[in-house]
Amino acid sequence: MRHLALAFLLGILMLAGTGFAQQSGKPFITIGTGGITGVYYAAGHAIAKVFRRNAKNPPFRLDAEASKGSVENINKVLAGDWAFGISQADMLYKEEHGTGPWQGAPHDDLRAVAALYPEAVTLVTAADAEIRTIADLKGKTVSIGAPGSADQGNVKQILALHGIDPKTDLKLVELPPIDASRELQQGFLDAYFYTVGHPNLSVREATFGSRKIRLIGIDPAITATAVQKIPYLIQTEIPIGFYPALENQSPVPTLGVKAVFFTSKETPDETVTAVLQTLLDDFGRFQRQHPAFAGLTPKMLTQGVILPLHPAAERIYRKEGLLP
């Protein structure tokens, strides 16, 4: 529930939208991101940095806040606690359709601002576990992500495509990736899944332990079938150049989802316009903030958003010639 003090700022709220706190005379608008080692955190801070550098006398301040990831970001934007968030496309799809964490409670309250980078379903394995394909996971000790996490939903779909039931075919563990990385190096896990943008610090750190690490891909024939059946999945590759200590040194084909920068449909046009226009106007600076953004183009921001675009975002993309 919002504090009563926000009532005093109602006039500013009409300009700046929900999800803010007062600081230095201007409302403070928040982007919900993810853990501090992940790419969501880097993306949110990159968007805020570009905004602060380029916005001319903006009516609000913009910053990013660490979070538990997609589910928390979605729920806090729905509640009006934060103005913007970053989420995996599949979680936004589930929120809209009332499945997963929002089972039986569909929403039509969120709108896309931009599709960012692809998040790859990443299977990190110990080389000594002799896992060469996903089928080799049977009988192994595998973490599929924390309970209720976005990771778990992706992993269960991919395992099903390979005829694997995690409850009966795996020695199932449910850990956050940062803990799974440590457990793998200590010999308590054979493998773990992580849906993430690359390069990722947690994955990189896992590769520098005493136990050799291998990333396992998904058969392109399976990924081609999956993207036809499931609207939010995309085919992608994991670049391995950032992981020189990996045992395998070829790009890894896999499935993924887009990371989507989103907001509420109630967020005023002026707020969305201010944030998105500065991003497009200084897109090169955004790209330089993290290697995962280097290959992005402005056109790609309109692709794979899964949600309807916020009207202000749609107008900007049309004005810039990025939508027909």
Task: Copy the structure tokens of residue 6.
Answer: 């926000």
pTM of the full structure: 0.84
Q: Tell me what pLDDT residue 151 has.
A: 84
pLDDT tens digits, residue range 77-95? 999 999 999 999 999 999 9
Question: Which residue carries 């049309």 as its tokens?
Answer: 318
Model confidence at 11: pLDDT above 90: no
Beta bridge partner(s), residue 56: none
Give the per-residue pLDDT at 2.
39
132-138: long-range contacts (C-beta < 8 A, 24 or more apart)?
Answer: 132/216, 133/216, 133/219, 134/158, 134/159, 134/162, 134/164, 134/216, 134/218, 135/162, 135/163, 135/164, 137/164, 137/169, 137/170, 137/190, 137/191, 138/164, 138/169, 138/170
3-state secondary structure of 46: helix
Phi, psi of 236 (to 5 degrees): -155, 175
The predicted pLDDT at position 24 comes to 56
CATH class of 119-257: alpha beta
Contact status, residue 264 vs residue 109, Cβ threshold 8 Å: yes
Render pLDDT for 104-125 as a digit per residue (tens, 0 to 9).
999 999 999 999 999 999 999 9
Distance CA 215, CA 58 (A): 45
Average pLDDT over residues 41-64: 96
Q: What is the 3-state secondary structure (H, E, C) of 245-302?
A: CCCCCCCEEEEEEEEEEEEECCCCHHHHHHHHHHHHHCHHHHHCCCHHHCCCCHHHHH
Amino acid identity for residue 86 in this structure: I
| Dist. CA 100–CA 144, nearest whole Å | 16
* pLDDT tens per residue across span 244-302: 999 998 999 999 999 999 999 999 999 999 999 999 999 999 999 999 999 999 999 99
Identical fold, 4-116+259-319 and 119-257: yes
Q: Any idea what the Cα angle at residue 11 is, between residues 8 and 15, rounded to 5°?
A: 135
User: Which residues does 284 contact at the CB level (< 8 Å), separation at least 6?
Assistant: none
- Is it the case that residue 25 has pLDDT exceeding 80? no
Q: What is the identity of the amino acid at 200? A: N
Domain ranges of the chain: 4-116+259-319, 119-257
Q: Name the one residue in this structure whose structure tokens are 């190096």.
A: 185
What is the number of alpha carbons within 13 Å of residue 130 lying toward its C-beta? 2
4-116+259-319 CATH pick, 3.40.50.920, 3.90.79.10, 3.40.50.970, 3.40.190.10: 3.40.190.10
pLDDT for residue 178: 86
